[in-house]
């Protein structure tokens, strides 16, 4: 009987330690995070939550938007449809009534993932200029240029893309006809497509 008691006293601590070790291992496995690399030039289609107006806003103003399409990489949904998005107006020049054309440079800065965390992103800057108060000239830094229209991109259900002439029906030009003052205006609900300018490593969980 004494031998049995001694055996129990010797084995019990070993079993306890093994159990704790197993629990730690399980916890470590559960904490493993899956990462996905979002490729450079990934299309990020957004719908503006805030309007943008060179007559109202100034350089450094942040704006809000939401994804109008999910971002899917290698079968993983990196960011879901409707995810919150933040951007910044990196350059704003108010129209100067026939003397100074309005200018606007803007890009995205972060997207909220399904866990509620904000993930930093970097996109090519879209440069919009009211040339000679008559034409819109739009260029995308690092991504070529389109003159005479607002950068747009139509994405079909198959994921293929096609350059369009407008960024959205709500996008337009603010104008005071009496003074010749023409500012750049993107209304709430305008759809715009940005493109990432580098590879972004995103945690899925």
Predicted pLDDT at 98: 61
Looking at residue 184, its pLDDT comes to 92
Within 8 A by CB and 6+ apart from 13, the residues are none
What's the first-to-final CA gap in the chain, in angstroms? 53
Least Cα distance to 185 among 4, 13, 57 occurs for 57
Question: What is the structure's pLDDT at 130?
Answer: 85
Q: Give start and end residues of each alpha helix (H) in 70-158.
A: none
- Model confidence, pTM: 0.69
Q: Are 137 and 151 in contact (CB under 8 A)?
A: no
Q: For residue 22, which phi and psi values (nearest 5 degrees)?
A: -65, -40
CATH architecture of 35-203: Beta Barrel (2.40)
Q: Give the side-chain half-sphere CA count within 13 A for 183.
A: 19
Residue 157 reports pLDDT greater than 90: no
pLDDT (tens digit, 9 = 90+) per residue, 67-117?
A: 999 999 989 999 999 999 999 999 999 988 667 889 999 999 999 998 899
pLDDT of 22 reads: 53
**Binning pLDDT at 50, 70 and 90, where does residue 14 land?**
low
Closest of 55, 62, 48 to residue 167, by C-alpha: 48
| Residue spans per domain, the chain | 1-32, 35-203
How far apart are alpha carbons 109 and 116 in whole angstroms?
A: 16
């Amino acid at each position: 009987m004494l031998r049995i008691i001694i055996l129990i006293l010797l084995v019990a601590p070993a079993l306890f330690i093994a159990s704790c070790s197993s629990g730690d291992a399980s916890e470590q496995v559960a904490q493993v995070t899956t990462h996905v690399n979002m490729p450079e030039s990934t299309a990020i289609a957004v719908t503006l939550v805030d309007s943008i107006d060179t007559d109202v806003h100034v350089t450094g103003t942040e704006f809000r938007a939401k994804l109008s399409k999910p971002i899917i990489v290698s079968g993983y949904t990196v960011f879901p449809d409707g995810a919150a998005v933040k951007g910044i107006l990196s350059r704003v020049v108010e129209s100067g009534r026939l003397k100074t054309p309005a200018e606007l440079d803007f890009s995205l800065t972060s997207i909220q993932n399904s866990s509620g965390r904000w993930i930093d992103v970097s996109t090519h800057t879209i440069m919009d200029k009211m040339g000679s108060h008559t034409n819109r000239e739009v260029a995308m830094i690092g991504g070529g240029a389109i003159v005479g229209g607002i950068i747009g991109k139509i994405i079909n259900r198959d994921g293929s893309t096609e350059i369009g002439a407008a960024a959205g029906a709500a996008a337009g030009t603010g104008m005071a006809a009496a003074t010749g003052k023409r500012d750049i205006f993107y209304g709430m609900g305008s759809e715009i497509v940005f493109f990432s300018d580098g590879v972004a490593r995103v945690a899925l969980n």
